[in-house]
Amino acid sequence: MTSAGTTGSHKAPWIWRALPLVLAAAVLVAMPGLLPTFMQRMMSKFLIFAIFSISYNVVAGYTGLISLGQAAYFGVGGYAAAVLMVRYGIDSLWVTALAGVTLGTIAAAAVGPIVLRVSGMYFLILTFAIGRLGYSLTWNLPFFNVPEGIQGIAGLPRPNPGIPGFQWTELSFYFFVLLVFALAMFLQYRLSRSPFGHSLQGIREGEMRMEALGYNVWLHKYLAFVIGGAFAALAGVLYVFMNRFIEPADLDIMRSFYPMAMVIIGGTATLWGPVVGAAAIVFVEYFSSILVPQRWPLILGSLFILAIMFARKGLAVYASDFWSKAGAKLWKR
């Protein structure tokens, strides 16, 4: 299941096809060291949102479950890490990250049976409602020992990786995020190529047929939803590590909408779609807010409309099509 690409007879050598990957890796590894610290932070943010977008890509892109509540699991992961740090004084990176991802996954596992009773538009509304529930819960969390409510939890420490004498810098944190991102991309790659991943795409294309083939459609959708929750929680934990602050707005509808917009702009159900989309939105948002402080959402909105009108399949798809066609042309003669 390659993205709409050329199945043609003229295939460029592997070196040409691997070049974009090598270039992307080179940029991600080498460039941040040359950037000012605030840009290093933007790079971290970009990768964290790319992971968050992978969550949406698994649930909506591959499986076709249009969810508008992914921020709930992002938020559970983030809040779990934050509460452990400020209330229980546990600042270990490994403990907080593990707890955050586990709790976020459990939350998705608990919500799954409720939302998967319906499909299509009703699924969207129900996931939205449950996301909304998560948002309102954060307003009033005294029983979880979080009395801040709407103010959010501020002043979080950097997590302690347990290496003696280690000090976080923006750059070392970026590389940590890059490592986690590479792992997430690898998992997404394995998933999209595996029988299980293909079964999800089959379900997206037609549930009835998959049932007739012997697939337990409900179970596969549920597993996809839980996997999506795990990716979202992972992004939420990293976000708290980076931001050192979390507030109810991080579970808001807008937060759920981000990965959706990123995946649509980048390319639904493609490997690199979430990454390209996350880069586009994070950086356009950043630079437009500097250029036109009051009106930046206009620019972001226009980008979204233009992408929908002229790049339906997503930027990543067009880029990869262009690349393979260029390669085919080059090696034809």
Partner 1 sequence: MEALKLDQVSKRFGGLHVLEDITLSVGEGERVVLIGPNGAGKTTTFNLINGQLPVSSGRIFLFGEDVTKLPVHARAQRGIARSFQISSVYPNLTVLDNAILTAHGLRRSRFGVFRSVDAYPELMEKVQTALDHAGLWEERHEFVKNLAYGQQRRFEIALTLAADPKLLLLDEPSCGLTRGECGDMIEVINTLPRGITTIVVAHDMDVIFGVAERIVVLYYGKLLADGDPATIQADRRVREIYMGVEEGTERVGGF
Crossing angle for the helix pair 217-243 and 37-56, to the nearest 10 degrees: 170
The answer to whether the CB of 53 falls within 8 A of the CB of 274 is yes
- Amino acid, single-letter form, for residue 318: Y
Task: Tell me the two tokens of residue 287.
Answer: 């630079």
Q: Which is nearer to partner 1, 199 or 256 (CB)?
A: 199
Q: Which is nearer to partner 1, 87 or 209 (CB)?
A: 209
The answer to whether the CB of 288 falls within 8 A of the CB of 106 is no
Region of 34-42, 141-149, 202-210, 290-298 interacting with partner 1 (CB under 8 A): 202-210
At its nearest, how many Å lie between partner 1 and the CB of residue 230? 13
Region of 67-75, 189-197, 239-247, 311-319 interacting with partner 1 (CB under 8 A): 189-197
By CB under 8 A, the count of residues binding partner 1 is 26
At its nearest, how many Å lie between partner 1 and the CB of residue 86? 36
Residues numbered 211-240 forming contacts with partner 1, rule: CB under 8 A: 211-217, 223
Q: Check binding of 195 to partner 1 (CB under 8 A).
A: yes
Taking the C-alpha atoms of residue 90 and residue 107, their distance in angstroms, rounded to an integer, is 21
Residue choice 7, 151, 167, 294 for contact with partner 1 (CB under 8 A): 7
Q: Check binding of 197 to partner 1 (CB under 8 A).
A: yes
Taking the C-alpha atoms of residue 78 and residue 103, their distance in angstroms, rounded to an integer, is 10
Alpha helix positions (H), 88-216 = 93-115, 121-139, 170-193, 195-205, 207-212
Q: Check binding of 190 to partner 1 (CB under 8 A).
A: yes
Taking the C-alpha atoms of residue 235 and residue 78, their distance in angstroms, rounded to an integer, is 8
Residue choice 209, 295, 329, 332 for contact with partner 1 (CB under 8 A): 209
Residue choice 51, 108, 180, 210 for contact with partner 1 (CB under 8 A): 210
At its nearest, how many Å lie between partner 1 and the CB of residue 191? 6
Task: Tell me the two tokens of residue 222.
Answer: 């549920």
| Cα–Cα nearest to 269, from 112, 67, 74, 56 | 56
Q: Check binding of 116 to partner 1 (CB under 8 A).
A: no
Region of 103-111, 200-208, 293-301, 307-315 interacting with partner 1 (CB under 8 A): 200-208
For 28, residues 6+ apart whose C-beta sits below 8 A from its C-beta are 43, 47, 178
For 222, residues 6+ apart whose C-beta sits below 8 A from its C-beta are 112, 113, 116
Region of 17-25, 101-109, 210-218, 321-329 interacting with partner 1 (CB under 8 A): 210-218
Q: Check binding of 206 to partner 1 (CB under 8 A).
A: yes
Residue choice 126, 191, 232, 238 for contact with partner 1 (CB under 8 A): 191
Region of 13-21, 47-55, 143-151, 186-194 interacting with partner 1 (CB under 8 A): 186-194
The answer to whether the CB of 324 falls within 8 A of the CB of 12 is yes
Sign of CA dihedral 118, 120, 125, 130: positive
Residue choice 169, 172, 194, 302 for contact with partner 1 (CB under 8 A): 194
Angstrom CA distances, 145 to 66, 138, 140, stand at 34, 11, 10
Sign of CA dihedral 80, 86, 88, 89: positive
At its nearest, how many Å lie between partner 1 and the CB of residue 53? 20
Q: Check binding of 312 to partner 1 (CB under 8 A).
A: no
Give contact residues for partner 1 (rule: CB under 8 A).
Answer: 1, 7, 190-191, 193-199, 201-202, 205-206, 208-217, 223
